[in-house]
Structure 1
Amino acid sequence: MIDIQDLSGTWNLRGTDVDLPAEVPGCVHTDLLAAGRIPDPFFGDNEHAVAWVGRQDWTYQRDLTWDGPAHDRIDLVFDGLDTVARVELGGRVLGETRNMHRSYRFDVTSQLGTAAADRDPADATAGASLPLSVYLTSAYTEAARVEALVGPKPNCYPEPFPFVRKMACSFGWDWGPTLVTAGIWRPVRLEGWSTARLATVRPLATYRDGGGDLDLTVDVERTRDRALRAQVLLDGRELTVVDVPADQTSLRARIPVDGIAAWSPRGYGPPALYELTVVLLDGDQELDRWRRHTGFRTVTIDRGADDAGTRFVIEVNGEPVLAKGVNWIPDDIFPSRMTRARYEKRLREAVAAGVNLVRVWGGGIYEDRAFYELCDELGLLVWQDFLFACACYPEDEPIFSEVVAEARENVTRLSPHPSLITWNGNNENLWLHDAMNWAAEPGGGESWGEKYYLQTLPAIVAELDPTRPYQAGSPWSGSWEHAPNSPDHQTFHSWEVWNREDYGNYRDSAPRFVSEFGWQAPPAWTTLRDAVSDDPMLPDSPGVLHHQKAEDGNGKLARGLEPHFPAPASTEAWHYLTQLNQVRAIRTGVEHWRSHWPHTAGTILWQLNDLWPVTSWAAIDGAGRYKPLYFALRDVHADRALTIQPRDGRLVVAVLNDHPEPWTGSLSVESRDSSGTLLHIGAEEVEVAPRSVTLVPINGGDVLVATLDGRRALWFAADHHLGDPDLTVTASSVPGGLDVHVNAAGLARDILLQADRIHPDAVTDQGFVTLLPGESTTLHVRAPIDLDPRSVKDPWVLTDLASVLRENRPS
């Protein structure tokens, strides 16, 4: 068996005028923070004060001894080095690395000893202790070196991320700080082994009625030429034993598997998983064991032509799936801080918001194994970008061979995960090269990345993972015959809305698949207040603006409010109204596009999460607090929902049934005046087939209310001149928090309870709530301490749209 010696824990970190303990896995920034050597980079403009960290070279050091039994081979294994490293043991260079997204293995047998019995003991120094040093060169230095070799390349941000294979967004983005990391960011260990080990195991599992097929490839690394066997088990049941001749280092087995259930995405059946084990045997002696959970499913994307253009419909096990997706960015600018528990919390939050697909965006990382295992367990589909975003990328050396090695390793590493259903070549590079005329800029006319997306990467996927469809980019129309971001062909990014247009313009088209769209809002009040020292804190005060990274972001927020509301009279009103505008924008887009299913086959919101406190498009802010948008996602992603939509010059109720059973019942439509008084009510029997949409024409009015089986949709002709809702608010103490009871005598639009204004760790279970005259609701506030019921009466804890608009009126 392989013996493992974990090297996680305390190392030593050295830099200019720095010598202190370091934690591995980790990074320089977190070590300096722990030692009190730098201020919190998330607070104020401290991001600038710590910029020097990313421009220095650093060294991690510790003494290394092999404490295990004698083996043929001792390897030093790094699961991740960030990024440009020279590894030395006892003054001897083991190797150099230039890629954050790869793992590395170095043979240290001759230095650490433990020679096998049939080797000359003089070749080793068993039990030797030697200094291990990892010298890390600044990513800026490496990027400058590479740029000097290959020439300049256009990109969207004034940072050199295309010239080094590193998490691009550590160089800053329009929602992220520039904090360029270095470190040993994933686990490191010594491995002792003899005769042979399992170098890679690549299982490709597909489903067919009543069973599945396992296409298994195993690569073996050897120290001895011996005939071996590989035993394959599924949930402990032996499927097969494959001979591995003495001269063979790779085997492939195609194994039919009967009597299993399909892995299915959320809403389409259970995500059935099975424990797959591969045991490498020398006679009866176990040399190595590989174990993962996997699932059997078949994935295709229907990209056929029709009268409207080119489809993009994800199909799992032969069934079309309406994608209710979110874009995922790294959940921490320092990804070494991520834990399985934190991944689980965030992904379960996605599930609770009705999400069934998570897109891992191309400016981040290939996430930790725990991320994909949790998606497997939760039935979340994973769309995985290769790591290219918003830039031209050189196709020359030394980058090209790094890209190939990185892609091959990660396609193999992620192959067991049934949740992973598509590989995507890049984020926006094909589109922006065309739209921004990068070909006319220095370095943009040749060797700009097209070869990766249209040749290199699809060839790697076809060789190593033909069970998953590949797409060249997001957005991508399928070929250069159409504009890359054509709404009529395959995937589409909707950014004219937000950047230049009002959210009502979402209704102007029905793209085939919307893989990015979004609308900004500030984070929760406490998150923003904790991040800045501005006094007073204003929408345009220095700290608030520093935590707004989008170009003219606050200007776009203001212009987005103009068609709908008067200018906010206070920072609190600005915070409330911009949060409300974000919710309304996303509702408008998703409900409109869902009403066009299957013509529009899905949406992927930009974005689920943030990696620091910032005004952004996220639904969950950088402190992990929910914006009101998070709660709205539950509604727009519900399996059964109603929405009132303008269609062909009139209004319709779109009855949205993303459920395996028909939806039948009496659809009620109420017409009310602007005060909410009932004027007319009508009803119509509807029967909506499974996984389909039915449109029911209705007449217009000031206020329309459609209901079916407890689901409700509202339509308002105007926002202004709302009357006093005459709210009665009472709060009662309950175990773990408060129950807040709200009754409305009049029409109460967009009631919002901001629990973090009661206590920083308090949460509520609803976002914006609208009550018709005479209606009530209960908001549940939960916190780790007892809460004072009177706190609900504090300013801005609970408010509503009419109250905010009254604040803007002249006295």
Structure 2
Amino acid sequence: MGFLALPLSNGWSFKDRDDDSSDAWMPVPAIPSTVQQDLIANKRLEDPYVGFNELKAQWVNEKSWVYRTELKKPDIPDGAKVVIVFDGLDTFASVTLNGHSILTSSNMFIGNRVDVTKLLLESEAPHLLEIEFDCAQQKARELRKNCPDHKWEGFNGEMSRLAVRKAQYHWGWDWGPVIMTAGIWRDVRLEVYSARISDLWPQTELDHSRKTATIIATAEINTAVAGYYTADFFLSLRGEGIAHQKFLVQIDSTKNVEAKFQVKNPELWWPHGYGSQTLYDISVSVSGAPGQELHKLSKNFGIRSAEVIQQPDKHGKSFFFRINGQDIFCGGSCWIPADNLLPSITRERYRKWIALMVNGGQTMVRVWGGGIYEDNAFYEACDEMGVLVWQDFMFACGNYPVWPELLESIQQEATYNICRLRHHPSIVIYVGNNEDYQVQEQTNITYNYDDKDPESWLKTDFPARYIYEKLLPDAVAKLSPTTFYHPGSPWGDGKNTADPTVGDIHQWNVWHGTQEKYQIFDTLGGRFNSELGMEAFPHLSTIKSFVENESDMFPQSHVMDFHNKADGHERRLMTYLVENLRIATDLETHIYLTQVVQAETMMFGYRGWRRQWGNDRQCGGALLWQINDCWPTISWAIVDYFQRPKPAYYTVKRVMEPIVVGVCREHHDWSVVHARPPTKTKYEIWVASSLREVQNGTLELRFLSVANGQSIRPPSVYNVTIPANGSATIVSDGIIDHLTHPEPYVLAVRLWIDGRVVARDVDWPQPFKYLDFADRGLVVKAENGIKSGEQILTINALRPVKCLVFEERDGVQISDSAMDIMPGDQQTVTVSGLTGSELPLKYRYLGQ
């Protein structure tokens, strides 16, 4: 017989373990699921994302749950095995079949396989499969209590979480609720086979010239019956066969079979914007003696080289990514799980998230260490669309304990997930943890970088160092040796994690920390800025999804604050609002103003760091916190839970275009000088490019009055050479003379190449609250585009317009938003996905 997989997705029921009432058992709509989803389906729980329902759902966190189903014995040929496969059990799971214990699991992040052949052969009757999920919250507290000598230190959630291999954000974070899920959160199935391919690992070696690639494909084959088997390997590209190798092997139980292929002039895999996302296919089939195919497994992979370049230079030590010999500025985002109820994230939803990143010009996504090793669909989308993946291991913001059983579980977790993920070309770095070294620093836990004896680390009050600097790097070196490993984020060769000269840093001195002005964000960066952010409200439609009463639709309502989990969010957000903008009390305007602040913050940071990429790679990249939300909330996300982009999404998109231009006057800190205006201000202009060829263009600088839009001095025009994959300063010593021209005016630059405007930028007098934006003379005209459901918006203004934002509608895509519109510079926006009956998009701008 061949390989047979039988999904066990239907026919389940569940109950509160301690409920013995006659109606305790409830039907489960489908597996995978969580207990919360199943309770909602049975009308035993209200949607925890609405109003204060998170509090009403807390009782679920404190319970243990039981799931059960009846298995029908499949046809089992002589010599075949039957295995139950659990791709994910959340988290403390005890599994019985016909009353016999077959599995005990305590790690959410690993899959399990159990041979049940003997139990199923004992009888023909339906077989009862039962899974008891012990309360993770209570188990965590017990484990902590049993380890009193450990220093239970960390940020976010209760520290007992550190004892449990469960998604840490389930204990609540500064952007998410406390929802302790339990259940069969990934697929479960029966597999019947006499032989199976348990793993297929395509390793690629690209020679220095990138003209030849060696593919080493290793297949692990399991058999139920010892004997001779044939392994056929096929290498193909776009459905066309390239090479084939066949092996006759004797297998007693498990054997690795290896095939090696040479590929001349390979088509390389590139991040989007740098080349194609070519994926080869490697497949292997195993056949028995008569030639009958018993099992076949295929994987897509890419041929590419990936390096992290860390070399001493005048700034300290570099930290940037080089793909196929090409230096890549990695502008992108950090990623948290896209839902608290993980099984609700569909393949289509994953793909839309990655498409949003690609359309937003983002090159890299960082899978954050307090969530999960993501679903296969996530990485497949990154492979296919060309988004580089920075993959954290699942440790976040804490001093983790390391008793032997826990270390063994972590070893299994690392092995399972590296083997599952290592064929994805998008994954270019594994990182040991998120901010655990910061916890060590801030709580004065011992860390002697010069001590290189791993066994001694286990005896210190920072034993988790053993995980990050021994266990995990050893696992990566063994299982995915060509992938770079970095001990933590942030981390820099054992120096202070805030050191901007080495490694990566989390730059939170805007918003957190010293709460610096966002106008100087770029001066706060490091060699690689792997976290940074600014909060903003989501769109009004998203707020309406969780605010039940109209009386709560104001910025400071109780339910609004409840859906913002960030410590001190009231004073932090209002500090940035009051320093920069005229405050409003109506909700729609307040939403917009917070979004303006977020958009400006991201622009100042990314624009400056893109310039610092330069030719000496002072800054290797920036990953904003965060691209997404796990529930409808007020957070740092630049796209909200319902995948509705905030204005910051578009400002980052513009700064990540292949060619950009920047203009910026020096920061005049009005709060320090008591609003005394300067007499003179310096300004600079620069260009940056990610293209491989030098470009020549023409740059125009205009000086436009904010009040009337007129030029207050003649424009300046420059013939510019734009370096390949770098940046160049065009003007370094420009002067604004405020005595000669005391009225506020903008510096507006446009860059032409071959008669076409390819980039724009505008520098405004700061702060915006001092400016009068009345009567802008804005005109937006809509015409039907060539495609069905497409509109072309033509935009003009008589006076400078700040942050023109278009309404976000589900299913409607906007090519640009959060725009600055200058007199005499018509811009267009393409809107797609509209239906004929829909009204034109609403819009607003600063001061409207």
Task: Indicate whether the TM-score tops 0.5.
Answer: yes
Contact 2:215 2:263 in 1 (8 A): no
Tell me the CA shift for residue 688 of structure 1.
1.7
Indicate yes or no: 2:623 matched with 1:604. Answer: yes
Q: In the alignment, which residue of structure 2 is the partner of 1:636? A: 655
Indicate yes or no: 2:747 matched with 1:704. Answer: yes
Q: In the alignment, which residue of structure 2 is the partner of 1:119? A: none
Distance across 1 between alignment mates of 2:510 and 2:319? 22
After superposition, the Cα gap between the structure-2 partners of 1:762 and 1:281, relative to the gap in structure 1 and judged at 3 Å, is closer
Q: In the alignment, which residue of structure 1 is the partner of 2:198? A: 199
Q: In the alignment, which residue of structure 1 is the partner of 2:276? A: 270
**One of 633, 655, 671 as aligned partner of 2:687:** 655
Q: In the alignment, which residue of structure 2 is the partner of 1:135? A: 132
Residue by residue over 1:690-721, the C-alpha shift from the partner in whole angstroms, topping out at 9 and shown as x without a partner, is 10101111524431111112111111123223
After the TM superposition, which residues 470-619 of structure 1 pair with which residues of structure 2 at under 5 Å, given as runs?
470-478=485-493, 480=494, 482-499=495-512, 500-534=515-549, 535-597=551-613, 598-619=617-638
After superposition, the Cα gap between the structure-2 partners of 1:173 and 1:105, relative to the gap in structure 1 and judged at 3 Å, is same
Distance across 2 between alignment mates of 1:754 and 1:631? 13
- Residue ranges of structure 1 left out of the alignment (5+ in a row): 114-123, 804-811
Distance across 2 between alignment mates of 1:761 and 1:201? 38
After superposition, the Cα gap between the structure-2 partners of 1:219 and 1:485, relative to the gap in structure 1 and judged at 3 Å, is farther
Distance across 2 between alignment mates of 1:408 and 1:614? 35
Contact 1:112 1:128 in 2 (8 A): no
One-letter code aligned to 2:663 = I
Contact 2:175 2:565 in 1 (8 A): yes
Q: In the alignment, which residue of structure 2 is the partner of 1:806? A: none
After the TM superposition, which residues 165-204 of structure 1 pair with which residues of structure 2 at under 5 Å, given as runs?
165-194=165-194, 196-204=195-203
Q: In the alignment, which residue of structure 2 is the partner of 1:116? A: none
Distance across 2 between alignment mates of 1:664 and 1:325? 27
Contact 2:790 2:832 in 1 (8 A): yes
Distance across 1 between alignment mates of 2:631 and 2:594? 19
Tell me the CA shift for residue 211 of structure 1.
2.5
Q: In the alignment, which residue of structure 2 is the partner of 1:684? A: 718
After the TM superposition, which residues 59-70 of structure 1 pair with which residues of structure 2 at under 5 Å, given as runs?
59-70=66-77
After the TM superposition, which residues 38-77 of structure 1 pair with which residues of structure 2 at under 5 Å, given as runs?
38-70=45-77, 71-77=79-85
Contact 1:217 1:250 in 2 (8 A): no
After superposition, the Cα gap between the structure-2 partners of 1:507 and 1:210, relative to the gap in structure 1 and judged at 3 Å, is closer
Tell me the CA shift for residue 158 of structure 1.
3.5
Q: In the alignment, which residue of structure 1 is the partner of 2:742? A: none
Distance across 1 between alignment mates of 2:61 and 2:205? 44
One-letter code aligned to 1:801 = L
One-letter code aligned to 1:199 = S
Contact 1:725 1:802 in 2 (8 A): no
Tell me the CA shift for residue 727 of structure 1.
3.2
Indicate yes or no: 2:798 matched with 1:745. Answer: yes
SS at 2:418's partner residue? Answer: helix
Residue by residue over 1:485-505, the C-alpha shift from the partner in whole angstroms, topping out at 9 and shown as x without a partner, is 311101111011111222123
After superposition, the Cα gap between the structure-2 partners of 1:315 and 1:763, relative to the gap in structure 1 and judged at 3 Å, is closer
One-letter code aligned to 2:654 = D
Distance across 1 between alignment mates of 2:521 and 2:573? 17
Residue by residue over 1:196-222, the C-alpha shift from the partner in whole angstroms, topping out at 9 and shown as x without a partner, is 322222222232322212233333333
SS at 1:52's partner residue? Answer: helix
Contact 1:738 1:787 in 2 (8 A): no
One-letter code aligned to 1:465 = S
SS at 1:421's partner residue? Answer: strand
Distance across 1 between alignment mates of 2:259 and 2:222? 21
One-letter code aligned to 1:148 = K
SS at 1:37's partner residue? Answer: coil
Higher deviation after alignment, 382-391 or 509-518:
509-518
After superposition, the Cα gap between the structure-2 partners of 1:175 and 1:707, relative to the gap in structure 1 and judged at 3 Å, is same
After superposition, the Cα gap between the structure-2 partners of 1:665 and 1:158, relative to the gap in structure 1 and judged at 3 Å, is closer
Q: In the alignment, which residue of structure 1 is the partner of 2:847? A: 802
Distance across 2 between alignment mates of 1:148 and 1:721? 59
Tell me the CA shift for residue 294 of structure 1.
0.8
**One of 461, 466, 476 as aligned partner of 1:446:** 461
Q: In the alignment, which residue of structure 1 is the partner of 2:816? A: 766
After superposition, the Cα gap between the structure-2 partners of 1:293 and 1:781, relative to the gap in structure 1 and judged at 3 Å, is closer
SS at 2:105's partner residue? Answer: strand
After superposition, the Cα gap between the structure-2 partners of 1:726 and 1:587, relative to the gap in structure 1 and judged at 3 Å, is closer
After superposition, the Cα gap between the structure-2 partners of 1:299 and 1:755, relative to the gap in structure 1 and judged at 3 Å, is closer
Tell me the CA shift for residue 764 of structure 1.
4.3
Q: TM-score, normalised by structure 1?
A: 0.92
Tell me the CA shift for residue 233 of structure 1.
1.3
One-letter code aligned to 1:602 = G
Higher deviation after alignment, 9-18 or 572-581:
9-18
After the TM superposition, which residues 142-153 of structure 1 pair with which residues of structure 2 at under 5 Å, given as runs?
142-151=139-148, 153=152
After superposition, the Cα gap between the structure-2 partners of 1:620 and 1:136, relative to the gap in structure 1 and judged at 3 Å, is same
Contact 2:225 2:252 in 1 (8 A): no
Distance across 2 between alignment mates of 1:749 and 1:5? 58
Contact 2:584 2:590 in 1 (8 A): yes
Q: In the alignment, which residue of structure 2 is the partner of 1:713? A: 761
Q: TM-score, normalised by structure 2?
A: 0.88
After superposition, the Cα gap between the structure-2 partners of 1:447 and 1:671, relative to the gap in structure 1 and judged at 3 Å, is closer
**Identical amino acids, percent of aligned pairs:** 29
The alignment's C-alpha RMSD in Å is: 2.4
**One of 42, 45, 48 as aligned partner of 1:35:** 42
Tell me the CA shift for residue 509 of structure 1.
3.7
Contact 1:392 1:444 in 2 (8 A): no
Alignment length, in residue pairs?
A: 779
SS at 1:595's partner residue? Answer: helix
Indicate yes or no: 2:420 matched with 1:370. Answer: no
After superposition, the Cα gap between the structure-2 partners of 1:689 and 1:726, relative to the gap in structure 1 and judged at 3 Å, is closer
After the TM superposition, which residues 788-799 of structure 1 pair with which residues of structure 2 at under 5 Å, given as runs?
789=839, 797-799=842-844
Q: In the alignment, which residue of structure 2 is the partner of 1:393? A: 400
Contact 1:513 1:603 in 2 (8 A): yes
Contact 2:333 2:364 in 1 (8 A): yes
Tell me the CA shift for residue 40 of structure 1.
1.0
Higher deviation after alignment, 219-228 or 327-336:
219-228
**One of 309, 315, 318 as aligned partner of 1:308:** 315
After superposition, the Cα gap between the structure-2 partners of 1:161 and 1:370, relative to the gap in structure 1 and judged at 3 Å, is same
Contact 2:697 2:722 in 1 (8 A): no
Distance across 1 between alignment mates of 2:477 and 2:553? 54
Indicate yes or no: 2:31 matched with 1:19. Answer: no
Distance across 1 between alignment mates of 2:328 and 2:655? 16
Distance across 1 between alignment mates of 2:653 and 2:633? 23
Higher deviation after alignment, 231-240 or 399-408:
231-240
Distance across 2 between alignment mates of 1:752 and 1:356? 24
Q: In the alignment, which residue of structure 1 is the partner of 2:258? A: 253
After superposition, the Cα gap between the structure-2 partners of 1:726 and 1:100, relative to the gap in structure 1 and judged at 3 Å, is same
SS at 1:178's partner residue? Answer: coil
One-letter code aligned to 1:203 = P
Distance across 2 between alignment mates of 1:254 and 1:736? 50
One-letter code aligned to 2:12 = W
One-letter code aligned to 2:694 = P
Tell me the CA shift for residue 337 of structure 1.
1.1
Q: In the alignment, which residue of structure 1 is the partner of 2:482? A: 467
Distance across 2 between alignment mates of 1:641 and 1:80? 45
SS at 2:184's partner residue? Answer: coil
Tell me the CA shift for residue 54 of structure 1.
1.7
- Residue ranges of structure 2 left out of the alignment (5+ in a row): 448-457, 668-680, 737-744
One-letter code aligned to 1:751 = L
Distance across 2 between alignment mates of 1:90 and 1:447? 44
Q: In the alignment, which residue of structure 1 is the partner of 2:452? A: none
After superposition, the Cα gap between the structure-2 partners of 1:685 and 1:271, relative to the gap in structure 1 and judged at 3 Å, is same
Distance across 2 between alignment mates of 1:530 and 1:271? 38
Distance across 2 between alignment mates of 1:800 and 1:502? 22
After superposition, the Cα gap between the structure-2 partners of 1:246 and 1:733, relative to the gap in structure 1 and judged at 3 Å, is closer
One-letter code aligned to 1:712 = R
Contact 2:492 2:504 in 1 (8 A): yes
Contact 1:488 1:512 in 2 (8 A): yes
Contact 1:300 1:316 in 2 (8 A): yes
